[in-house]
């Protein structure tokens, strides 16, 4: 679990800066660390490379990260967009008329 370190802005920031910030936001304000920016930039690069057709292992090699990390970033992106996938689900496209080319009904996705 992540712990949050809250600090009163007036204790650590110059008064003029606090006044400036209040013009844009009041209440709780999250200021990401430099690490968060690096993670976000990496996630954007992963998605861009995937959209260009690179495989996960190629993306990992290019960015110097593990394929597992690539998969995790892509999974979180899909979840954020409401796309859910299951390893047990297989889409079967049928030509018009609901039968495969051989005139047979395709097997069910669950085998």
What pLDDT digit, counting tens, does each position of 69-88 carry?
999 999 999 898 887 655 54
Q: Which two tokens stand for residue 27?
A: 């209440």
- Model pLDDT for residues 24-58, shown as the tens digit of each residue: 998 888 877 778 788 889 999 999 999 999 999 99
Q: Beta-carbon neighbour count of residue 60 at 10 Å?
A: 19
Please report, rounded to a whole number, the percentage of residues in the chain having pLDDT higher than 70: 71
- Which pTM value belongs to this model? 0.47
- Residue 101: pLDDT band by 50, 70, 90 thresholds? very low
- Which sequence spans correspond to the domains of the chain? 9-80
Residue 8: both structure tokens together: 């009163």
More confident residue, 8 or 91: 8
- For residue 28, is it left (φ>0), alpha (ψ between -120 and 50) or beta? beta
């Amino acid at each position: 679990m992540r712990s949050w370190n809250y600090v009163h802005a007036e204790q650590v920031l110059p008064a003029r800066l606090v006044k400036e910030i209040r013009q844009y936001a009041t209440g709780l304000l999250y200021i990401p660390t430099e690490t968060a920016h690096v993670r976000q930039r990496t996630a954007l690069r992963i998605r861009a490379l995937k959209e260009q057709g690179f495989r996960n292992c190629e993306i990992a090699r290019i960015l110097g990260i593990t394929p597992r990390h690539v998969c995790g970033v892509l999974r979180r992106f899909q979840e954020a967009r409401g796309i859910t996938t299951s390893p047990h689900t297989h889409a079967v496209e049928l030509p018009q008329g609901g039968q495969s080319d051989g005139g047979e009904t395709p097997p069910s996705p669950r085998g």
